[in-house]
Structure 1
C-alpha cells in the first residue's frame, strides 16, 4: 500500500484518494480467522481449546478514517521581576528601548517538543532601592515588633508567682530575648539579601505547546453501533500526511465528506486559539485508514459474528462465548 506524500489541497489529486482504498482488501480472511481463533481460545475458562478452527462464512470490509491535526505553538509573555543587586552588569536602556514581544530572538526547540523557558529582555534593567527594607538591608522583626524582646510566660503564671521563685528563662525580668532577631530588633532582608538594592528587569516567558485534535469518520451504515472509542488504541494505514508551517484543508477528500469538513473546521479552530501573544510554528495533519471488518463465522455448529479492527487484529463482539466453547459446568 502506498503512503501519501506531503501536500496541500491543490495537490491532493496526484495521490491515491480514499475511493481507491475502499476497493483494497484491508483485513484478509486469514487475518480474520487468526483473530477469531485467538478470541475463541481466550474465552475458555479452564478446559483446553478444541482443535476446531472457526470457519469464515462472510467478511465485510468497513474501514473507518481518522483525521489528526497537530499544531505546534509558541506563546510569549513579558512580566517585570527583580532579584538582589550584587554588582552584576546592568543592560540598561540608555540608547535604545527594549525590543518588542516578538522582536526578541530566542532558541526554538525541536518541533512538537513542548517546554517552558524564561529569558531576560535586553536593555530592560534598572537598579532601585529595596522597597522592603528601604535600602537598610534589614527589616523590623515581625515577632518582637522591633524591640528585641517579648513577654515571658512567667509574667502571666499565677503558679510561678505563688511560689515566689525566680524564672530560670528570664531571670525574673519578665522579658525574653527574641530568638528570631537575636535581640537586635531587625532581621536580614530576604528580598535584597541584605544588599539594600534590587535589580529590576523584564523577563520573557516562552511556552511551547502542541494543540492536538482528531476526528473519525462515521461507522459503516450497516453497523452504526460500532463503538468508536475502541479505535483509540489501534493503528491503521496513513494514507495522507501533510507537514508545513500552515496546512490547508483537505478539500479534495470528497469521498469521506466528514473528514474534509473536519480538517477545515479544526484548522480554523487552531488558528482562532492563537492570539497576539501566540504564534503557530508548525502544523502536521494526517488521514489514517483503520481497517474494520464484520466477520460472520461458524463455530461449534453455531453461526456467530464479530468485528475485527485495527492492524493489531482486535476483536469486538456483543456475543458471549461462555457455555459455548467450554463444556464445564458450575457446581
Structure 2
C-alpha cells in the first residue's frame, strides 16, 4: 500500500497549520513521528449518460414563415439531434417539423398594440409632484391642474398611449408549434471502500486518487474480479440500478466506470509528551485531525 514519508507528512501538516489563522506551527515543526499507517481506500464511480425527450407547446411572434403541416408529424425519437459532449448535462430545444400553426394574439386582440402601462393610455407622463393622484399637500395639484398628468409626452409610448404587445412583438399573430425538448443528463453513483470508521468518508469527495481501472462503453458490465469484494458488489448494484431506472424513461447513450485508489495515511506523533494523530489523504495531501494541540484561543497542552 503506498505510504507517504515522514517528510511529506510534516510538510502536509505545516501547510494545514498555516491555512488556519489560530493554529500554531510549533506542533508540525517539533512533532516526533511515531508511526505511519497506510490504508487501502478505493472509490468506485459509475457515470451513466442518458438522453430523454419530451414535447411541449410553444408560441412566438409570427414572422411570416410557416412550415406546411402534414397529416402525421414526425415522432420525437425520429428527429435527428446532435449529441453534445459526453458526460456533461445539457438541454436543447428543437421545433418539431410539421406542427406549426398561426393564431391571433389574445393579449392584444390581434391588434399588435396594448395600452401603455406608464401613462395608462393618457399619452402624458405621470405628474412628478402628485404622483398621478391630482392632489398635492391636501389640495388640487397646481402643477397638473388635478389631472395627475404632466404636460410632457409619455416617454414609454412617445405620446401614442399604446405600445407594441410583447407577446406577439406587435405582429398581432402568434406562431404555435410543438417543441422537442431534449435533456442530456449525467447520473453519477459513487461508493468509497475504506478501512477507517473514524475517518469521515465525505472528505474523499474533495480529493482525487490514482486511477486503477477505467471502463467506458455504450453499455458496461459489472466488475466481478476486483480484490475488494465490496467494490464488486457496489458495481453490480449500481449497474443494475441505473439500467432499471433509466431505460424505461430515456436512452442510455454511454456508460463509464472507474476505480481509484485514494491515498490515506494515519500519522501518529508525540508533542510535549502527549500523543496525537492526524490523517493525510488524497493526491492533494489534505490533512484531517480532531485534536490539533496548539491554538491561539484554546490550547490542549
TM-score, normalising length: structure 2: 0.72
- 2:5 match: secondary structure: helix
Equivalent-residue separation in structure 1 for 2:42 and 2:27 (angstroms): 39
Task: Please state if 1:262 is matched with 2:234.
Answer: yes
Equivalent-residue separation in structure 1 for 2:27 and 2:198 (angstroms): 33
User: 1:20 aligns to what?
Assistant: none
CA pair 184-256 structure 1, distance change in 2 beyond 3 A: same
Post-superposition offset of 1:47: 6.8
Deviations 1:278-310 (A, max 9, x none): 322211111112233444567788776554433
1:35–1:308 contact (8 Å) kept in structure 2: no
CA pair 193-316 structure 1, distance change in 2 beyond 3 A: closer
Unpaired segments of 5 or more residues in structure 1?
1-24, 162-166, 324-328
Post-superposition offset of 1:80: 1.1
1:40–1:321 contact (8 Å) kept in structure 2: no
CA pair 104-54 structure 1, distance change in 2 beyond 3 A: same
Aligned equivalent of 1:189, options 149, 165, 187: 165
Task: Please state if 1:238 is matched with 2:238.
Answer: no
CA RMSD between the two structures: 4.1
User: 1:274 aligns to what?
Assistant: 246
User: 2:80 aligns to what?
Assistant: 105
Aligned equivalent of 2:174, options 198, 206, 230: 198
User: 1:85 aligns to what?
Assistant: 62
Number of matched pairs: 281
Which is higher, the Rg of structure 1 or of structure 2? Answer: 1
CA pair 54-168 structure 1, distance change in 2 beyond 3 A: closer
CA pair 308-127 structure 1, distance change in 2 beyond 3 A: closer
Post-superposition offset of 1:216: 0.5
User: 1:122 aligns to what?
Assistant: 97
Mean CA deviation greater in 128-137 or 64-73: 128-137
Equivalent-residue separation in structure 2 for 1:46 and 1:135 (angstroms): 75
Deviations 1:54-108 (A, max 9, x none): 566x5544211111111222232221112222222x11223x5221121111111
